[in-house]
Amino acid sequence: MSANSQSTSHKILNQHHLNTAEAALYYQMKDTPIKVLQIGEGNFLRGFFDWMIHQCNKQGLFEGSIAVTQPRPSGKANIEKLKRQDGLYTLVMRGIQNGELMEQREIISVFSKIVDPYTEWSEFLALAENPALEFVVSNTTEAGLTYQPVAWEPEKAILSYPGKLTAFLYRRFQHFGGQPDQGLIMLPCELLEQNGALLKQHVLQHSRDWELPEAFIQWIDQHNRFLSPLVDRIVTGYQTEAADWFEQWGYEDALLAAAEPYHIWAIEGNPELEQQLPFVQAGMNVHWVEDLTPFRMKKVRILNGAHTLMMPLGFLSGLDEVRQLMENHVFGAFVRRAVEQEILPTLPYDHHELIEYAESVMERFLNPYIRHRLIDISLNTISKFKVRLLPTLEAYLASKGELPEHIVRAFAGLIRFYKAHKVGEEYRGTRFNGDEYVLNDDSQTLDFFYKQWSSFEKGELTLQQLIQHILSNDQLWGKDLNDIDGLTEAIRCHLAEFEGKAH
């Protein structure tokens, strides 16, 4: 149920709903310096990083606040909701902890500044002039951490995250005259290997393309740190119990988020940074490590890989949530077999440890309190497949001499999921039962699939040609996937089956 359709007897959450202790923390936070610029207003960062900062502030360890902004124009609605709610939102943490079911609610207060860069560009850039700023934290999905050439127009909002960050850092460089101690620490939470190095590469590329001063490029290289973190926590949005909760709480929260108790943050960085971000001291499961590779591969290939694997066919078949899918005897078994038989054998780590981690992931998927919607997982799924499942597909083929059956079927399901038609400015797909859904990806990707499927529907392409065109798009996959022996034909067979289901 949406906030608009609920009883008007409840007021939207704001500072006046805080109890004495919450209000004291809120006003204290508002008086602290802004130490973090956060690019990302979505559920994940609010249920992960912002929750951590809130815990640190409660313990008097951080004494700082966050300026939050959205990475893309579509986030405007959340930014406006945050402004209406005085930067406050509710996080409900529910799940199994130490073998016991637990549930707790907390109003999170960490945002002292909320900015829409697309309508408040000058305000956004002005944040760069804050001497207390130390960190830039982002979660723009894998698709957000890409290089998009754009003209240098300093007074105009830049669409891409790396472009925005470059302009932001340049304003900081200019304002402080390139002082070494005014460099920032970047913590990109996008699930890409060496995400910090990738972000730095894009920033330097923009700097050169825009012919910014060499002194600025050297300042970026020498006095700003681009760390590579890995995050892990399942955070979801609106819950079906929301209306009942609002009755109990006496307020409505348009930004309600729910998280599992489990969390881990591994950061490839110097442990001395704990002095600036005292997460370990605050009791968080945070690790400052020299090599992130083992953490990253296990998490991205197993947990995130399983999410990306299950979404297309499960959703097309009428399932809506992760737990519902895992409890389904067909799809639950499909996911478990894919993980055990195709994903784990391709990872170069102790098999017993991998089995334990995979079992913990399956338990988390079955968390009775987390309602993780498959349509939410579908955001930018093409780029997610490239990072999370394509490497497993290729590694399995290399070691076994055959294609991984479950991953290939999921790949075919993904192509069918992107079978789009346009309604106004929206790209919509249809489930096997004919119900429509809105596809959520960058416009270039959506338009590409729309054109391919439209040509197929008009009879201009055969099914084989449709697949060949899609697999040959190296902008999507980084290579021509038709070169993978047997993949095109295997996907054709699956798609022919799926097309039969839809008629």
How far apart are the C-alpha atoms of 283 and 55, rounded to whole Å? 9
Q: How confident is the model at residue 192, as a pLDDT?
A: 85
> How is 474-496 classified by DSSP, letter by letter?
HHHHSS-GGGSTTHHHHHHHHHH
How far apart are the C-alpha atoms of 31 and 90, rounded to whole Å? 21
Q: How confident is the model at residue 143, as a pLDDT?
A: 78
Q: Per CATH, which fold does 293-501 belong to? A: N-(1-d-carboxylethyl)-l-norvaline Dehydrogenase; domain 2 (1.10.1040)
Its pTM stands at 0.74
What confidence tier does 4 reach under pLDDT thresholds 50, 70, 90?
very low
Long-range pairs, 499-503, Cβ under 8 A, ≥24 = 499/416, 499/463, 501/432, 502/430, 502/432, 502/434
What confidence tier does 501 reach under pLDDT thresholds 50, 70, 90?
low
Q: How confident is the model at residue 236, as a pLDDT?
A: 85
> How is 257-313 classified by DSSP, letter by letter?
EEE-S--EEEEES-GGGGGTS-TTTTT--EEEES--HHHHHHIIIIIIHHHHHHHHH
* Rounded CA Rg of the chain: 23
Residue in 161, 157, 153 with CA at minimum distance from that of residue 136: 161
Mean pLDDT on 460-470: 97
Write the pLDDT tens digit of every residue in 195-217: 999 999 999 999 999 999 999 99
Q: How confident is the model at residue 8, as a pLDDT?
A: 40
Helices and strands in the chain, H and E counts: 22, 18
**Residue spans per domain, the chain:** 3-261, 293-501
How far apart are the C-alpha atoms of 190 and 71, rounded to whole Å? 12
H/E segment holding residue 429: strand 426-430
Write out the two tokens for 54.
């809130």
Its CATH class, for the domain covering 3-261, is alpha beta
H/E segment holding residue 199: helix 195-209
Write the pLDDT tens digit of every residue in 420-449: 999 998 999 999 999 999 999 989 999 999
How far apart are the C-alpha atoms of 252 and 7, rounded to whole Å? 9
- Please give the C-alpha separations between residue 272 and each of 269, 280, 288, 296, in angstroms, as whole numbers: 8, 12, 9, 22
Q: How far is CA 82 from the centre of its chain?
A: 19
How far apart are the C-alpha atoms of 227 and 255, rounded to whole Å? 29
- Please give the C-alpha separations between residue 280 and each of 115, 271, 347, 416, in angstroms, as whole numbers: 30, 10, 29, 44
For residue 108, report the phi and psi dihedrals to the nearest 5 degrees: -95, 130
Domains 3-261 and 293-501 share a fold: no
